[in-house]
Amino acid sequence: MKTLVIGTGGREHALARALAHDPGVTEVHAAPGNPGIAAVATLHDVDPMSGPAVAELAVSLGVDLVVVGPEAPLVAGVADAVRDKGIAVFGPSGAAAQLEGSKAFAKAVMEAASVPTAAAVLCSSVSEVASALDRFGPPYVVKDDGLAAGKGVVVTSSREDALAHAAGCDRVVVEEYLDGPEVSLFAITDGTTVYPLQPAQDFKRIFDGDAGPNTGGMGAYTPLPWAPEGLVGEVLRDVLQPTVDEMARRGTPFSGLLYAGLALTSRGTRVIEFNARWGDPETQPLLALLDAPLSPLLMGAATGTLASVPAPVWKDGAAVAVVMASAGYPESASRGDVITGTDAAGSLDRVHVIHAGTALDGADLVTAGGRVLAVVATGGDVQAARASAYDGVAAISFPGAQHRSDIAAHVES
Ligand code: AMP
Ligand code: GLY
């Protein structure tokens, strides 16, 4: 099978790497890719946001399957443009990607499907925001309605900061605060059959101890030894399957990767958000432990035949990813800082390096984005994997590099 991965990030590198290791895959192409992806795929300089350009590339390469990685092209309908050419695509239509593209749409679907989530009010004026804040009380949760790369949400006990964030958005959702640990539970679906993956957890704040602003994610691990028994079955029954069924009922079936961000609150499991694509960096440790070829699952989801593909199974042990970010992240990103040590890190036992915001400057590997790379390690348990991941991080350096030192630190194996 010939495949084409669309995107430039760590998630796309992890997907391309898994496809490159898949015996059923003969060619892996990527557009536009990054220097890490170039090691496992042939790169093409095509705008990932242009449906016609991506579709034309897929046709000219004669690929069997296109995997659209990031949310922005999905919401823009890039998967539709490829599907219109008769090529199988892993990733939802633009209409179905509204599950991520609009928090208000996601809330409406959850309500219709009786999926447990935080009570919320959609506001379009400052006075509506003010009264919603007073209704729920602190801590305040204020979300930009549109796509914001994980940075559109403010959780604060300051009413003033909550109002200030709302003032910068067109439409905002103000919602009830959810306590309790967060879990990322992904499912592969063809619009009917739903295969949950192993639960993972990511670390959203920039600094140790969950301090500082939200980021796209600074690290992740899987599995979760502390997760309640039966969690996956419960979420499949109460969240994933009802959501997929409701999307089909509306005439906008969802196929691809449905990402449920969950809070395990004292009052039960609640959905924090849906995403319409693989989570980053959770995908990196998940794919490191997937004990099945990836392409049949992606192809089954893309062609409505997932029920005929065996459900995914997982290697024993655990995997941990630690993100290294550039100076200034998440407010800004520093470009052009020379990165050293990735080969040394990648040659450590059970360690590999996944590139996100990297570029080549002559012979030098340099930073080219906020999240620069992730060091991913597997091990017999979470602490063993964590120790190896940090050995990899220690081998890599670039000016201004930031990483959290407490990814998966408090997880008992
Ligand atoms: P989202 O973009 O909706 O995933 O939100 C990003 C992060 O903000 C989440 O992972 C949570 O850490 C936090 N968050 C979002 N909504 C809530 C909520 N209702 N209660 C508490 N924390 C939240
Ligand atoms: N890791 C969070 C996300 O991908 O949105």
Helix (H) or strand (E) holding 52: helix 51-61
For the chain, give the longest Cα–Cα distance.
58
Q: 2-90 belongs to which CATH class? A: alpha beta
d(CA 251, CA 235): 23
Residue 331 C-alpha from the chain's centroid: 20
Task: Taking each helix axis as running N to C, give the angle between helix 241-249 and helix 103-112, from 0 to 180 degrees, rounded to the nearest 10.
Answer: 100
Among the bound ligands, name the one nearest to the CA of residue 282. Answer: 2
> Counting Cβ atoms within 10 Å, is residue 168 exposed (0-12), middle (13-18) or buried (19+)?
exposed
Among the bound ligands, name the one nearest to the CA of residue 218. Answer: 2
Q: Give the pLDDT score at 23.
A: 97
Ligand 1 atom index nearest CA of 148: 2
Among the bound ligands, name the one nearest to the CA of residue 156. Answer: 1
- Going from the Cα of 214 to the center of ligand 1, the distance in angstroms, rounded, reads 9
Ligand 2 atom index nearest CA of 277: 4
- Matching residue, tokens 């890190």: 345
d(CA 189, CA 91): 10
Phi first, then psi, for residue 292 (nearest 5°) are: -155, 155
Q: Give the pLDDT score at 149.
A: 57
Using most ligand atoms within 8 A of CB, pick from 143, 145, 147, 153 the residue to mutate for ligand 1. 153
Supply the residue whose CA is at minimum distance from atom 5 of ligand 2.
279
Q: What is the fold of 318-395?
A: Glycinamide Ribonucleotide Synthetase; Chain A, domain 4 (3.90.600)
Residue of 403, 371, 410, 370 whose CA lies nearest to 389: 403
Q: How many other C-beta atoms lie within 10 A of the C-beta of residue 182?
A: 14
d(CA 275, CA 225): 24
Q: Strands 2-7, 65-68: parallel, antiparallel or unpaired by DSSP?
A: parallel
Q: Give the pLDDT score at 340.
A: 98
The single-letter code of the amino acid at 22 is: D
Binding-site residues, ligand 1, Cβ < 6 A = 118, 141, 143, 150, 153, 155, 175-178, 182, 204, 214, 261, 272-273
**According to DSSP H, which parts of 194-282 are helical?**
231-235, 241-249
SS3 151: coil
- Going from the Cα of 237 to the center of ligand 1, the distance in angstroms, rounded, reads 22
- Matching residue, tokens 């300051």: 158
Q: Give the pLDDT score at 148.
A: 63
Q: Give the pLDDT score at 103.
A: 85
Which regions of 326-398 does DSSP assign to beta strands (E)?
335-338, 351-355, 358-361, 364-368, 371-379
Ligand 1 atom index nearest CA of 202: 10
d(CA 281, CA 9): 10
Ligand 1 atom index nearest CA of 272: 16
Within 13 Å and on the Cβ side, how many CA atoms surround 215? 33
Query: Which DSSP symbol is given to 267?
Result: T
Cis, peptide link before residue 223, omega less than 30° from 0: yes
Ligand 1 atom index nearest CA of 143: 3
- Going from the Cα of 115 to the center of ligand 1, the distance in angstroms, rounded, reads 17
**Token digits for 137?**
């009380």
Location of each CATH 3.40.50.20 domain in the chain: 2-90
- Going from the Cα of 184 to the center of ligand 2, the distance in angstroms, rounded, reads 8
pLDDT in tens, the chain (413 residues): 999 999 999 999 999 999 999 999 999 999 999 999 999 999 999 999 999 999 999 999 999 999 999 999 999 999 999 999 999 999 999 999 999 999 889 999 999 999 999 999 989 888 899 999 999 999 999 988 776 655 578 899 999 999 988 887 778 889 999 999 999 999 999 999 999 999 999 999 999 999 998 899 999 999 999 999 999 999 999 999 999 999 999 999 999 999 999 999 999 999 999 999 999 999 999 999 999 999 999 999 999 999 999 999 999 999 999 999 999 999 999 999 999 999 999 999 999 999 999 999 999 999 999 999 999 999 999 999 999 999 999 999 999 999 999 999 999 87
**Homologous superfamily of the 120-175 domain (CATH):** ATP-grasp fold, A domain (3.30.1490.20)
- Going from the Cα of 153 to the center of ligand 1, the distance in angstroms, rounded, reads 7
Q: Give the pLDDT score at 252.
A: 97
**Token digits for 193?**
């059959």
Handedness of CA 139, 150, 190, 308 (dihedral sign): negative
Handedness of CA 38, 40, 44, 46 (dihedral sign): negative
- Going from the Cα of 162 to the center of ligand 1, the distance in angstroms, rounded, reads 14
Using most ligand atoms within 8 A of CB, pick from 202, 273, 277, 282 the residue to mutate for ligand 1. 273
Location of each CATH 3.90.600.10 domain in the chain: 318-395
Q: In what order do the strands lie in the sheet with 256-265?
A: 194-196, 182-189, 256-265, 268-275
Structural contact between residues 165 and 133, judged by C-beta atoms closer than 8 angstroms: no
CATH 3.30.470.20 fits 180-308, yes or no: yes
DSSP 96-120: TTHHHH-HHHHHHHHHHTT--B--E
Using most ligand atoms within 8 A of CB, pick from 282, 322, 407 the residue to mutate for ligand 2. 282
Q: Give the pLDDT score at 221.
A: 98
- The answer to pTM > 0.85 is yes
CA angle 17, 86, 42 (to 5 degrees): 30
**Token digits for 285?**
């440790």
**Token digits for 31?**
């557009």
Residue of 81, 86, 25 whose CA lies nearest to 48: 81
What Rg, from alpha-carbon coordinates, does the chain have?
A: 20
Query: Which DSSP symbol is given to 252?
Result: -
Phi-psi sector, 328: left (phi>0), alpha (psi -120 to 50), beta: left
Supply the residue whose CA is at minimum distance from atom 16 of ligand 1.
272
- Going from the Cα of 30 to the center of ligand 1, the distance in angstroms, rounded, reads 31
